[in-house]
Every structure is written in C-alpha cells, then in structure tokens.
C-alpha cells in the first residue's frame, strides 16, 4: 500500500522546504532523460550532487550550475550503491526513471537526513504532480526511505534565431531573450549567444546568432513555435530573419561540428540546409532566408557551454 500526496499536502505535513522547481525532460528516441532541480540555496544542492553521483543508479552525468542541479539519466531502473560510508554519512540516489503516458515516475532513495530531501523537499515542489509514499516511510533519523515522484513529461525544444537586426537597429540576442521571457508556453530554460565567424562579409556588427531552449509538454510545441514565429516577425528589423527548431536532448555530432566550424568557415546556405535535414532541424523563414546559416549553427552550438560565446582562438 502507498499513500499519495499532492505538493500542497506534503507542505501541510512537513512545512515549506527548499526545492523551487523539478522538471523531467525526456528523449525516448535515445532512451534518456534530463532531471533539472532548482534549490533555494547552493549548500543542499552541492551535497545532493556529491551523494547522487556516489550512489550511481540511473544517473550518468550530474552537474551544478548556481543552485540548479542538472542530471542526465537513463530511462529504466538500476541499482543504487550508497557505499560503505552511507551509515555514517547518509546518502541519496535516483534508482529509476520511467515514462508513464504523459507523466514521468522517478524513484528516489535516501538514508538518514537525506530522506528529508526526497520525502519532504522534492515532493513539496509546485512543479510536482504527486508523490507516492510507501506505508513504511519514515523521514529523518537513521531510516532508509524511498518515494515515487510524478512530474509532467516534458521535451526540450531549442529555437535558433538569426538576422533579426540591421546595422542601424536591433540585436538578435536581445530580441530572442525578450521572446523567451514573454513566451506563455513551457518553461524558459536557457538563452545562448552564439558567436559566429567575425569575418563574415554579410554580418551586421558582431555576427552572433542566438539559441533559446524550453522544457515543454509535447502537445504545446506547435503553440510555442507559432508564438516564436509571430514574435520574431513583429520585432525584426531585418528582411532576412530565420528561426530553426530542434526537439530532443541529444544534438547530433555532425550538427555540433557544423556549429563549431561556422565560427571559422564561410558556409553556404546549401550546407546549412543539408545538415539541418540530416539532423532533424526545421528551418522556418520568418522575414527572409539570410539567417539560415546562423540559425542552424545556433542549434549546433547550444550545448557547447562557454565555447558557444567565443571562437577557437579564445580556447587555445
């Protein structure tokens, strides 16, 4: 038997805790998911990162950015290993991540104080749908506890944008950021300024494109695309504005290479169209076609971290 509680019921029982958001983005084609958790302080997030990494389970990669934990996980179930130090140090881990219809079930284990995190903190977050607690669940102390947390199944959509400005007016990065912040669909996740070839003869000033990413329900993706199209069209100063759309957690390696090489190579439009077709990138002409190369390259660079903002010479 289990007891099912909503976030409101969890907060009524344990009080308001520290998790601000919990999202699960899935890529079923590649059998993976990304679990993103935003904490209200860095200390608990750092402790969680170290302990979850130690425990293994379905977690492949786990990192922290500010107070946000980003976990790339395998869909399915794997045993967790708290290690010999668990009795003295406590521990926390993610044992399973499964897609169930339009929801994602994640199974969390915690020992000692870590049971507060998985039993009160995460389940009390407003982005959670509900949490199942087994009858033997006990929070805190020396107990080992587990829960199943249900969240909406989300996908990652990246929108690439280029050539919304002219030499006299506008800035693509600013237009894209305003667009992402005002978008009423999904959850705005990242905004990336993509430095491209500064020697491009058709550039405006800095030769940059932009990529913005969203975590969104699959059925809302068409609305997201429509909103972004309309926003760019109404805010573009250029007759060459283009947007691109990519859905998924894994950017193909050939597309990543194209994005990186676009910082030094003068590609042709046909090159961008070819790699887009091969990589599942949709090209949408908004006011013209001049921004195709930059908008495709923006998708390729979206996961390059700080390298997206520079050229090769910056990282030698």
Half-sphere exposure of 236 (CA within 13 A, CB side): 22
Instruction: Give the containing element (helix H, strand E) for 187.
Output: strand 187-195
100 CB-near residues (< 8 Å, 6+ apart): 150
CA–CA–CA angle 8, 109, 187 (5° rounding) = 50
Task: Please say if the pLDDT value at position 208 is more than 70.
Answer: yes
- For 61-112, the pLDDT digits (tens) are 999 999 999 999 999 999 988 765 555 555 889 999 999 999 999 999 988 7
Domain boundaries, the chain: 2-154, 163-315
Alpha carbons 163 and 136: distance in angstroms, whole number: 59
The answer on pLDDT for 206 being more than 70 is no
Number of neighbours of residue 294 by Cβ within 10 angstroms: 30
| Model pLDDT for residues 168-204, shown as the tens digit of each residue | 777 899 999 999 999 999 999 999 999 997 776 565 6
Q: DSSP of 27-55, one letter per residue?
A: EGGGTEEEEEEEESSHHHHHHHHHHHHHH
Q: What residues are paired with 151 via a beta bridge?
A: 104
Radius of gyration (C-alpha) of the chain in whole angstroms: 22
Q: What percent of the chain has pLDDT over 90?
A: 75
Q: Is 3 exposed, middle or buried (0-12, 13-18, 19+ CB in 10 A)?
A: exposed
Question: Is 272:258 a contact under the CB 8 Å cutoff?
Answer: yes
Q: Which pair of structure tokens corresponds to residue 98?
A: 């499964």
Architecture of domain 163-315: 2-Layer Sandwich (3.30)
Residue from 266, 260, 261 nearest 203 by CA: 266
Give 252: exposed, middle or buried? Use CB within 10 Å, 0-12, 13-18, 19+: middle
Chain segment 218-229, per-residue pLDDT in tens: 999 999 999 999
């Amino acid at each position: 038997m289990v007891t099912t509680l909503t976030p409101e019921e969890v907060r009524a029982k344990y009080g308001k805790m520290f998790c601000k958001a919990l999202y699960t983005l899935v890529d079923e084609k590649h059998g993976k998911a990304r679990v993103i958790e935003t904490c209200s302080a860095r200390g608990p997030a750092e402790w969680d990162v170290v302990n979850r990494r130690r425990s293994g389970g379905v977690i492949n990669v786990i990192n922290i950015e500010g107070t946000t934990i980003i976990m790339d996980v395998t869909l399915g179930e794997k045993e967790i290993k708290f290690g010999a130090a668990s009795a003295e140090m406590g521990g926390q881990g993610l044992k399973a991540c499964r897609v169930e219809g339009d929801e994602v079930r994640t199974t969390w284990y915690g020992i000692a104080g870590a049971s507060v995190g998985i039993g009160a903190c995460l389940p009390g977050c407003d982005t959670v749908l509900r949490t199942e607690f087994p009858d033997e669940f006990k929070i805190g102390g020396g107990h080992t506890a587990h829960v199943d947390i249900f969240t909406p199944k989300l996908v990652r959509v990246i929108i690439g944008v280029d050539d919304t400005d002219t030499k006299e007016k506008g800035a693509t990065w600013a237009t894209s950021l305003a667009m992402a912040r005002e978008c009423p669909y999904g959850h705005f996740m990242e905004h990336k300024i993509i430095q491209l070839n500064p020697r491009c003869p058709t550039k405006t000033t800095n030769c940059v494109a932009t990529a913005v990413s969203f975590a969104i329900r699959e059925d809302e993706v068409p609305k997201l695309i429509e909103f972004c199209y309309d926003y760019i069209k109404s805010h573009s100063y250029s007759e060459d504005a283009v947007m691109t759309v990519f859905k998924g957690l894994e950017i193909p390696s050939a597309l990543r290479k194209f994005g990186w090489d676009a910082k030094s190579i003068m590609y042709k439009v046909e090159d961008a169209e070819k790699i887009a077709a091969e990589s599942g990138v949709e090209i949408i002409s908004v006011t013209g076609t001049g921004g195709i190369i930059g908008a495709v390259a923006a998708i390729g660079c979206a996961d390059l971290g700080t390298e997206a903002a520079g050229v090769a010479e910056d990282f030698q």
